[in-house]
């Protein structure tokens, strides 16, 4: 009997964590757009001295998104928690697109979010 109670408690806890805070439904398409934007970028993203192409950067961002989901309550919070800086070093991530000036991924994604919202 105790095993069944423990199993039920773990199942309930799992359901609670999966329904924790996240971006509102009306902003999920924005997050999906930004994830696709990163995945398909020809730009190079720098994180703690290492350089990544879009798909590699996307994998890391998705992991951070899952980890911080309970703190993310807007698209801007998604950018801040999952795609702006290293949790360990505190250093900002940057992006280099062709010959353009290197900028922070935070600014890069906020600019893309603005373009997406205005279309």
Residues 119, 114: Cα–Cα separation, whole Å: 9
At 35-88, the pLDDT tens digits run 999 999 999 999 999 999 999 999 999 999 999 999 999 999 999 999 999 999
pLDDT in tens, 9-33: 333 344 333 444 688 888 999 999 9
What does pTM read for this prediction?
A: 0.80
């Amino acid at each position: 009997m105790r095993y069944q109670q423990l199993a039920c408690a773990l199942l309930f806890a799992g359901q609670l964590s999966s329904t924790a805070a996240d971006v509102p439904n009306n902003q999920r398409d924005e997050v999906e757009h930004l994830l696709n934007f990163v995945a398909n970028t020809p730009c190079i993203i720098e994180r703690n001295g290492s350089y990544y192409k879009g798909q590699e950067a996307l994998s890391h961002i998705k992991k951070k998104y899952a980890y911080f989901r309970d703190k993310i309550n807007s698209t801007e919070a998604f950018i801040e928690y999952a795609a702006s800086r290293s949790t360990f070093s505190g250093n900002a991530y940057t992006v280099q697109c062709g010959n353009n000036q290197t900028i922070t991924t935070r600014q890069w994604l906020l600019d893309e979010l603005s373009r997406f919202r205005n279309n």
